[in-house]
A and B are shown apart, each in its own frame.
Chain A
Amino acid sequence: MKINDFAVALGLMIVAFFAAFVSGMDYFHWSWMGGDAAWESGRGTDDLYIFIWQFCVFWFVWLMGFVGYFAIKYRRRRGVAPERSPSHHTMLELAWSVIPTIFLVIIFFWGFWGYMDKVVAEGNAEEISLRAWKWQWEMTYPNGQTSLISGEMSDGQVQPYPIFVVPEDYPVKLRMTSDDVIHSFWVPDLRQKFDVFPNRYTSYAFRMDPLSEADKQNTEDMFPGGFRDHRVFCAEYCGDMHAEMAAILRVVSRTDYLSFLDTGGFIPDSPVAFGEKLYTTKGCVACHSIDGAPNTGPTWLNAYGYDVPLASGGTVPYDANYIRESILVPAAKIHAGYPNQMVSYQGRVTDEELDAMIAYIQSLSDRGPQPLSAEGEEGADGETTEGVAPEGEAPAGEGEDAAPAEIEEESNA
């Protein structure tokens, strides 16, 4: 290569750098995403996205610069012979294999960390159950309250959609399952989606950004502390009305959230209380203790969240899926030291009942989820809440600037 070829390559590279630099500006972030993400991890995703975008712009502009330059400079002229040039150059070929690889490794790790951020829920989250079916969603809160349905149909709305109320700035974990086919829960503003399956639970964790000053002005009877809406879409194709399977994720202040749970509508029974009833009515009590006492089957006290040693060797985590399976197919995973004796409850329990059992067993463990209570203190080392859903001790939300609800220590059992 002659010197002036290097000069051109360098010049094009500078142009490409400049283009990549420019494309990192806010304007492009806005163009791509249409706005900021609504939680920390989503903003991390945006940063990664913009980094990849700049990386792509750099390579693309540089390479297409070469293409354009060569196509013009070396265009065919009748009777003019091309110059000879090497058809192979080991150093060059090594360089263009290795340098991109380095960047790809960076992108991979960055993506992986961002992903772990999203799949691993913070401890002691508010756990809400989410059910999907063709073509609707429904949330059930820890106390049995269910999600709102949008009020009267406004012009243009094809079917009523649910409104999911969630607290600001508190870790929330959705435990999701479907009644029929696969759906997928996507909140674009959270920059994440997870699929919802008919035969298992999947989860969706997040912690919503606090309400901004403007959001706090945006009030409604039910939410005097203000609210902010985000769109929810079903992202896995599920049939005719897939495109209408939308919902609203409504972020409200913690106090409003608690009062919504209390008063937001008809409360059948909290799943925990329901599960407690089932414990006797379904006959679980015959074999499983709830105080740690030995019996035919393993106790439920402090079971959830621990590892189960299996008769066949190894362990499995005692989680929602394990509970579900153990009720429906008890023989699938036998707890070491116990006989394979339990009968299957397949067809004898409904999904709601399963949900209730899970909530109940969770409530018996010190590793169970910690519902948001009025004290609003997350991360408090998970003492058991004795199966009682948060009662309405919360002071009624007092307008906009109400300081984070201040609270006496709730007594633990």
Chain B
Amino acid sequence: MATIDSQQHTRPALADRAVPRWQRYVPGHHWKNAHDEFEGAKIGMWLFLTTEVLLFAGLFVAYAVFRMKYPEAFINGSHYLDWRFGFINTCVLLLSSFTVAWSVRNAQLDERDKLVRNLFISVVCGGVFLAIKFIFEYGPKWAEGKRPGSLFSYPNAENAYEPIWWGVYYGATAIHAAHVVIGMALLTWVMVGAMKGKYGPKHYTSVENVGLYWHLVDLIWIFLFPLLYLIH
């Protein structure tokens, strides 16, 4: 990527190891200043989050359509789910959202250790979420034959359309789980950067944006949880 950066923008404090990296940060050459760049990145992130919401909107529409068509199957379906796991997972994600929000604050206050710690807790929460999902929910259900579509083989089904319910359930939660995985990867990346001192009061764009992403992942779960587990 040498084309542009190498030619311009001398970085005055580059050699000065004593100065933390975030203080040495220079905005992209095409930005007027770091503030504009930060704002731009934030608008970009919000737009991206909009696309994510629309992506999930497709799933919610599918949910609504089939719920209307096959209410019995969906009521049975939500009885198969144990709301306690869903609830624990909701709490886990809420906690992680809290630590993520806190970590943004940490970056603004230049509290590097707390920043790393909070990010770490968030990643761990993501892991716990996935563990609960896979070990206590997907695993046993799959083994019992509660699977989507034509993979369905649960012998005690009460309604012919339960495979569709499982199709919606797995479709929605798996895509959400994929977002959790991506979010964890991003948080880890930010955490590593934080350890190296990349983020501080004057530059914390990535902390902010990854944080926004993580809140979205959380938010979508907050919609999925009642729709799938609670509404009878």
> Taking beta carbons and an 8 Å cutoff, which residues of A are in contact with B?
312, 328-329, 331-332, 344, 346
Residues of B within 8 A of A332 (CB): 69-72
> CA separation between A344 and B157, bound complex, in Å?
12
Q: Is B159 an interface residue (CB 8 A)?
A: yes
Residues of A within 8 A of B70 (CB): 329, 332
Q: Which residue of A lies closest to B159 (CB)?
A: A331
Residues of A within 8 A of B72 (CB): 331-332
Question: Can you list 8 A-B pairs with a CB-CB distance of less than 8 A?
Answer: A312-B71, A328-B160, A329-B161, A331-B159, A332-B69, A332-B70, A332-B72, A346-B160
Cβ-closest 6 pairs across A and B: A331-B72, A346-B160, A344-B160, A329-B160, A331-B159, A332-B70
Residues B54-100 near A (CB distance < 8 A) = 69-72
Residues of B within 8 A of A346 (CB): 160
> CA separation between A328 and B73, bound complex, in Å?
14
> CA separation between A312 and B71, bound complex, in Å?
11
Interface size on B, residues (CB 8 A): 7
12 additional contacts (CB under 8 A) given A329-B160, A331-B159: A312-B71, A328-B160, A329-B70, A329-B159, A329-B161, A331-B72, A332-B69, A332-B70, A332-B71, A332-B72, A344-B160, A346-B160
> CA separation between A398 and B93, bound complex, in Å?
83
Residues of B contacting A: mostly: loop
Residues of B within 8 A of A328 (CB): 160
- A11 to B: closest C-beta gap in Å: 51
- A325 to B: closest C-beta gap in Å: 10
Residues of A within 8 A of B160 (CB): 328-329, 344, 346
> CA separation between A338 and B170, bound complex, in Å?
34
Residues of B within 8 A of A312 (CB): 71
Residues of A within 8 A of B69 (CB): 332
Q: Which residue of A lies closest to B161 (CB)?
A: A329
Q: Which residue of B lies closest to A346 (CB)?
A: B160
- B159 to A: closest C-beta gap in Å: 7
Residues of B within 8 A of A329 (CB): 70, 159-161
- A346 to B: closest C-beta gap in Å: 5
- A51 to B: closest C-beta gap in Å: 37
Please, what's the 1-or-0 string for B173-198, where 1 marks a CB less than 8 Å from any CB in chain A? 00000000000000000000000000
> CA separation between A332 and B75, bound complex, in Å?
12
Residues of A within 8 A of B159 (CB): 329, 331
> CA separation between A312 and B70, bound complex, in Å?
13
> CA separation between A39 and B161, bound complex, in Å?
42
- A347 to B: closest C-beta gap in Å: 9
Residues of A within 8 A of B71 (CB): 312, 332
> CA separation between A332 and B160, bound complex, in Å?
10
Q: Which residue of A lies closest to B69 (CB)?
A: A332
- A151 to B: closest C-beta gap in Å: 41
> CA separation between A331 and B161, bound complex, in Å?
11
- A334 to B: closest C-beta gap in Å: 9
- A335 to B: closest C-beta gap in Å: 15
- B76 to A: closest C-beta gap in Å: 10
> CA separation between A176 and B69, bound complex, in Å?
21
Residues of B within 8 A of A331 (CB): 72, 159
- B176 to A: closest C-beta gap in Å: 29
> CA separation between A329 and B69, bound complex, in Å?
11
> CA separation between A329 and B161, bound complex, in Å?
8
> CA separation between A312 and B67, bound complex, in Å?
14
Q: Which residue of B lies closest to A331 (CB)?
A: B72
> CA separation between A344 and B159, bound complex, in Å?
8
- A95 to B: closest C-beta gap in Å: 38
- A198 to B: closest C-beta gap in Å: 15
> CA separation between A329 and B164, bound complex, in Å?
14
Please, what's the 1-or-0 string for B124-160, where 1 marks a CB less than 8 Å from any CB in chain A? 0000000000000000000000000000000000011
> CA separation between A328 and B161, bound complex, in Å?
10
Residues of A within 8 A of B161 (CB): 329
The winner among B159, B160, B161 for most chain A CB atoms within 10 A is B160
- B167 to A: closest C-beta gap in Å: 15
Q: Which residue of A lies closest to B158 (CB)?
A: A331
- A338 to B: closest C-beta gap in Å: 15
- B101 to A: closest C-beta gap in Å: 43
- B136 to A: closest C-beta gap in Å: 30
- B117 to A: closest C-beta gap in Å: 52
- B216 to A: closest C-beta gap in Å: 35
> CA separation between A148 and B159, bound complex, in Å?
40
The winner among B70, B71, B72 for most chain A CB atoms within 10 A is B72
- B226 to A: closest C-beta gap in Å: 21
- B73 to A: closest C-beta gap in Å: 9
> CA separation between A332 and B70, bound complex, in Å?
6
Residues of B within 8 A of A344 (CB): 160
> CA separation between A346 and B159, bound complex, in Å?
10
> CA separation between A344 and B162, bound complex, in Å?
13
> CA separation between A174 and B18, bound complex, in Å?
84
Q: Which residue of B lies closest to A340 (CB)?
A: B72
- B74 to A: closest C-beta gap in Å: 12
> CA separation between A344 and B73, bound complex, in Å?
13
- B155 to A: closest C-beta gap in Å: 15
> CA separation between A402 and B54, bound complex, in Å?
66
The winner among A312, A328, A329, A346 for most chain B CB atoms within 10 A is A329
